[in-house]
């Protein structure tokens, strides 16, 4: 099942590398409608899946469609609030995190207690996607007229004026998104094996708690400078991972729940602050490309550590593997947080 999880971020990366700047060319709305329409088809594939091959195909298409949505949706959000980057970044992250939380909790409860969960989960998913399409149709188009369309693999694109800040944000993304990937993929396994918590519900609810905390942290974004938010977020992530390591060492479910909340707040502030930092310096007509490049880093960090952890567990066992992973995340988060606190990046006009 690690392969089924891993093909999703690979699909996201493929879409970001080929379709990342498409919304800068043809517009945000056509890309969003087409990609979400593909996700409706994905929901139908999941409902009809009867083998691992079907699941791999559905997850791959889900990744491709999600990758197309990510760059366009993030750019559209920044377009709609061009003079209030913290607000746009906060809404961006809240949408992602409350969506993950709602999906995790709803799917967990349906799988644990609902009828025919292999059908009802994806039927609900498809219905919500149709509602999203109806809403997007009514949105104004925000992208300026662009170049001719070229659907071919492209290098991740970051303007020279943005690269220094982008590199710092990217380091934070490595820490935050690797934690998100491992939590989503292995949360139920960790709660079952290391904390003796049986069933799928505890692990699913832990993922939901992390996402709710991440989304709730955005309520503070309007009152916090984006650089400080990113710095506090990465340091909170390090603290939360240290608590998680302690909870696994002593086998404490209560401490694990607390660590999930701290990690979630850290993820939310680091994610929102990072997007806000990029919004301050990214030229208006390059936002789709830059945000897609950010998500290339994010989803590589989301998927590759899960595959690596899955492979290493067979040799070292779950406990030692998670100890090494936690130490690596804490190291990256501490370095990034300190660099953000010490930095003094200047704001560059976002149009031009």
| CA–CA separation, 233 and 225 (whole Å) | 12
pLDDT in tens, 148-195: 455 555 666 788 888 888 999 999 999 999 998 888 777 767 766 665
Number of Cβ within 10 Å of residue 214's Cβ equals 30
**pLDDT given at position 110:** 84
Instruction: Report the alpha-carbon angle 338-340-343, nearest 5.
Output: 105
Ranges of the chain whose pLDDT falls below 70:
1-2, 81-90, 92-93, 143-156, 188, 191-204, 222, 344-352
Q: What is the pLDDT of residue 331?
A: 96
Please name the residue ranges forming H helices in the chain: 2-19, 22-26, 28-48, 52-80, 85-113, 117-137, 163-193, 201-216, 226-250, 253-281, 287-316, 318-342
Looking at residue 192, its pLDDT comes to 65
Distance CA 9, CA 30 (A): 23
In-domain check, residue 348: no
Return the residue matching tokens 């994905």. 42
Angle at CA 321, nearest 5°, toward 183 and 256? 45
176 in any annotated domain: yes
Are 238 and 205 in contact by the 8 Å Cβ rule? The answer is no
- Whether 12 and 299 have beta carbons less than 8 Å apart is answered as yes
- What pLDDT was estimated at residue 291? 79
Residue 351: per-residue pLDDT = 43
The answer to whether the Cα torsion of 271, 218, 184, 35 is positive or negative is: negative
Nearest to 169 by CA among 179, 153, 183, 158: 158
Indicate whether 309 belongs to any domain: yes
pLDDT at 348 (0 to 100):
45
User: Is residue 90 domain-resident?
Assistant: yes
| Dist CA 46 CA 290 (whole Å) | 32
Task: Identify the CATH number of the domain in which residue 240 sits.
Answer: 1.20.1250.20
CA–CA separation, 143 and 146 (whole Å):
8
DSSP H stretches of helix in 194-317: 201-216, 226-250, 253-281, 287-316
Other Cβ atoms within 10 Å of 329 Cβ, number: 25
CA dist 110 and 5 (Å) reads: 20
Domain contains 284? yes
In angstroms, the CA 238 to CA 218 distance is: 19
With a CB cutoff of 8 Å and minimum separation 6, the contacts of 138 are none
Range of the domain at 114: 2-139+162-342
Full-prediction pTM beyond 0.85? no
> Would 153 be classed as within a structural domain?
no
Residue 151 lies in a domain: no
Q: Smallest Cα–Cα separation from 197: which of 265, 252, 267, 136?
A: 252
Question: Among candidates 207, 227, 258, which has minimal Cα distance to 101?
Answer: 207
Residue 349 lies in a domain: no
Q: Is the dihedral of CA 167, 221, 103, 332 positive or negative?
A: positive
- Domain total for the chain? 1
């Amino acid at each position: 099942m690690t392969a089924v999880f891993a093909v999703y971020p690979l699909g996201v990366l493929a879409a970001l590398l080929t379709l990342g700047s498409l919304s800068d060319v043809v517009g945000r709305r056509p890309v969003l409608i087409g990609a979400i329409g593909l996700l409706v088809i994905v929901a139908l594939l999941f409902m009809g899946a009867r083998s691992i091959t079907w699941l791999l195909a559905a997850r791959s298409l889900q990744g491709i469609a999600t990758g197309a949505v990510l760059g366009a949706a993030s750019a559209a959000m920044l377009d709609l609030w061009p003079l209030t980057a913290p607000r746009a970044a906060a809404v961006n992250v809240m949408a992602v995190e409350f969506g993950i939380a709602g999906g995790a909790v709803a799917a967990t409860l349906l799988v644990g207690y609902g009828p025919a969960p292999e059908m009802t989960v994806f039927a609900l998913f498809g219905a919500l996607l149709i509602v999203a399409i109806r809403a997007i149709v009514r949105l104004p188009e925000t992208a300026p007229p662009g170049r001719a369309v070229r659907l071919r693999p492209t290098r991740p694109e970051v303007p020279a004026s943005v690269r220094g800040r982008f590199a710092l944000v990217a380091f934070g993304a490595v820490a935050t998104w690797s934690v998100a990937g491992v939590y989503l993929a292995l949360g139920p396994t960790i709660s079952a094996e290391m904390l003796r918590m049986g069933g799928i519900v505890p692990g699913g609810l832990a993922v939901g708690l992390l996402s709710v905390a991440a989304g709730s942290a955005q309520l503070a974004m309007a009152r916090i400078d984006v650089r400080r938010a990113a710095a506090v977020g990465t340091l909170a992530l390090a603290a939360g991972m240290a608590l998680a390591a302690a909870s696994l060492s002593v086998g404490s479910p209560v401490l694990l729940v607390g660590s999930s909340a701290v990690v979630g707040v850290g993820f939310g502030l680091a994610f929102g602050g990072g997007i806000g930092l990029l919004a301050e310096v990214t030229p208006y007509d390059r936002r789709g490309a830059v945000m897609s490049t950010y998500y290339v880093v994010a989803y590589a960090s989301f998927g590759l550590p899960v595959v690596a952890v899955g492979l290493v567990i067979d040799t070292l066992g779950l406990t030692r593997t998670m100890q090494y992973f936690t130490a690596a995340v804490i190291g990256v988060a501490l370095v990034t947080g300190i660099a953000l606190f010490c930095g003094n990046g200047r704001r560059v006009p976002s149009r031009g």
